[in-house]
Amino acid sequence: MISLLLCIGAFLVCLFASQRSQVIGLVVLLAIGYAYGITRANVPDPYSHFIFDAAVLGLYCSQLFRRLTRSQEYRVRGVKSWLELLIAWPLLLLLIPSQDLLIRLVGLRGTIFFLPFMIIGARLTDVERYELATWLAALNLCAFAFAVTEFFTGIEGFFPRNELTHRIYLSKDVASYSAYRIPATFLGSHAYAGSMVMTLPLFLGALQQTRKEAFRKVLLVAGAIASLLGILMSASRLHFVIAAMIVIIAVFSMKSKVSHLLGWVLIVSGIGWLVSGEQRLQRFTELQNTETVSERVIGSVNMGFFELAATYPFGNGLGGGGTSIPYFLRDRIEKPIGMENEYARIMLEQGVLGLALWLAFITWLLTRPGLAKSDPWFYGNRLAWVTCAAYFGTGLIGTGLLTSIPQTCLLLLNVGWVAARQSAQGNESVLSEQNNVMAQVPRLRSSAVQVGRI
């Protein structure tokens, strides 16, 4: 009963918050996403699975009848067509009874439910993106406070042992198998680390803006530091590599003052000093074992993928190819099959055609023209592109890219931002031409009056 009330409350809160402001709605939704894991772990009944889904529905409902401005229409034009294709094909597959209806619905949810965040990300203005970045910094600091507490006191006081937290308690592989990976308020350490990584492009892009208040600048810096430390405490090697790549690109590509570069040196040196003195923050050093890494990659990208494609060219039905299914529905899956590869999951559930659609979309996305260097968000947008490319690339060695809460929402917001680049530029040029025309109207009227007098 409590979880059902939480679902209703999440829906209403997001609905009313989104009607007030798109940014406020997103912040409330992401706050619910940040708290989703710890809430679901402590309220372990079937309805708790739908708390975040209810919040997303509230956000969507608030946007249904909101008219797009001309600027927003330009920004979403390219990504909207792809969104329709990526949604239409799974909807057709829903009609094929290859799996139990409930399994197909769960598979459909994991395939298309979060995709509209690409449109929302494309619609965000520069001002809205800056506001969102500052709020996310505050959320990351709150999550970091939980992470630090769990780091020193243990996770048992926050996550009771049950079916939902089983994987958390399987992750005792840190510091010679003496400590757990830290999940903070998320349902797993990977969700925590991934969400932290996805906020970095926004933070670093916001720090490049000229119109920033001192308080917000401090908040953004603190949020970025908390994100990097949280990634280390989560002990996720994959997310650490992507975060390190973002930081390196940011340091060497951004036009920064000497004081900014010194600030980066101090931050990285401070984090390095903390890591050197704490074995629990050093799991990423296992990347030196190239044999283990290569086995992981080869095991995910091997001939088994092509054998599955030949055996299941039309897929094994929505939900039957590796989508995370709630424990109370798993016995309904017919011929369960899967591979630790996001593209294999797409192929096994949507067939070869569905996989081809996704590969075509990713290719289109990553070949979009970039923002002009004069644009204040140029570097943030470049980092968003790098982050999206990195996560789509690592989909070859893992699953959950389209179902992680709230990492997937943050990823798709960045996807929308990257996809809207050309539209945004085109819109700005059109608006500039319109402004020039409007500025000439009084002159034309004046000339017409003078001619009339003559």
**Number of other CB atoms surrounding residue 51 within 10 Å:** 24
Q: What is the pLDDT of residue 373?
A: 83
Nearest to 375 by CA among 425, 423, 308: 425
Q: Are 189 and 181 in contact (CB under 8 A)?
A: yes
Q: Rounded distance, CA 203 to CA 105, Å? A: 36
Q: Model-level pTM?
A: 0.86
Low-confidence ranges of the chain (pLDDT < 50): 300, 303, 423-441, 443-445, 447-454
Q: Are 234 and 183 in contact (CB under 8 A)?
A: yes
Nearest to 315 by CA among 91, 82, 96, 85: 96
Q: What is the pLDDT of residue 212?
A: 67
Q: What is the pLDDT of residue 183?
A: 95
Q: Which two tokens stand for residue 24?
A: 């406020």
Q: What is the pLDDT of residue 145?
A: 96
Q: What is the pLDDT of residue 430?
A: 40
Nearest to 99 by CA among 428, 310, 330, 357: 330
Burial (0-12, 13-18, 19+ Cβ within 10 Å), 74: buried
Q: Are 354 and 136 in contact (CB under 8 A)?
A: no
* Cα–Cα separations (whole angstroms), residue 170 to 34, 151, 165, 207: 21, 16, 9, 38
Adjacent-strand bridge partners of 174: 179
Phi, psi (rounded to 5 degrees) for 179? -145, 160
